[in-house]
Amino acid sequence: MSLNLDVRQRAMLDEMHIPFWWPEPPGGDALPVPAPAEAGAQAPAGAMPRVSAPLAPVQMPPPISPSSEPLPEPPVARPPVVRPAAAPARAVAGAASTWRLLPAQALYASPATPGGWLVVTEAIWPGDDPLAEDGGPAARLLDNMLRAMGLHKNPQVWASGLARRTADEPAEPLAWAELLQARQPQRVLLMGRTAAREALGTDEPLGRLRGRLHDLHGVPAVVTYDAPYLLRSQADKARAWADLCLALG
């Protein structure tokens, strides 16, 4: 770009002490200044209007077609595996014992007939009646327990006990099968650790033998505490009552 000043205009700048320093184009001729385009000027014939580039089409995800394969089944909650209870303890046939069975006695002065209950204790009672008055507190507690079960109204109640063999008596198997065959009880109540272990042929502690039914030569049997022990441990009377309810059930 340059200024097109004639001679008179340059002389005026000299009078005003304004130096003219704009460089002149080569050849001394000023470059023509293009005239501004007139409004409404038509574009040359054949010229195409400028069109902005079209936007790229948005790629849409292909539609999801239903699969021919079946959907996997949701996991089914499986019920907890219930393992069968341990088999009831059975008496060991032919096992020698240092104990012997006392003859079974009918309780409550009734002519007991085959069937009913057989109560086996490890307490030694005087005479033939385990519920005699001279049996002391243990006999009275045993009587109270059996009455609480309602057995005093049942004429088919037998009681037997275990006695230690003397030194000159050889150890022999206890005659459980013979006793059960003779009295034919429908339920056996084993009172005390010795009675339970000797009848069931096991060394398990009493606490693990309680709370379940056992099989004594085909007859259901329940284990509980004996009367002398309950006299020393009052706290276990509630557990003994639970055992009696199990036997009645």
Which CATH number is 220's domain given? 3.40.470.10
Residue 55 maps to a domain: no
Residue 137 maps to a domain: yes
List the chain pLDDT tens, one digit each, 249 residues: 455 667 766 766 566 656 666 555 555 555 555 555 554 445 555 555 555 555 556 566 566 555 555 555 555 555 444 444 444 444 444 567 878 888 888 887 665 566 689 999 986 665 555 666 667 888 889 989 999 999 988 778 898 888 887 778 777 778 899 999 988 999 999 999 999 999 999 999 999 999 999 999 999 999 999 999 999 999 999 999 999 999 998
Residue 5 maps to a domain: no
Residue 39 maps to a domain: no
Q: Count of CB atoms within 10 A of residue 163's CB?
A: 11
Residue 204 maps to a domain: yes
The model's pTM: 0.60
Residue 25 maps to a domain: no
Q: Residue 115's domain spans which residues? A: 96-248
**DSSP summary character for residue 137:** H
Residue 241 maps to a domain: yes
Structurally, how many domains does the chain consist of? 1
Pairwise CA distance, residues 27 & 41, whole Å: 34
Q: Which helix (H) or strand (E) holds 223?
A: strand 219-224
Q: Count of CB atoms within 10 A of residue 140's CB?
A: 14
DSSP 171-207: PEE--HHHHHHHH--SEEEEESHHHHHHHHT----HH
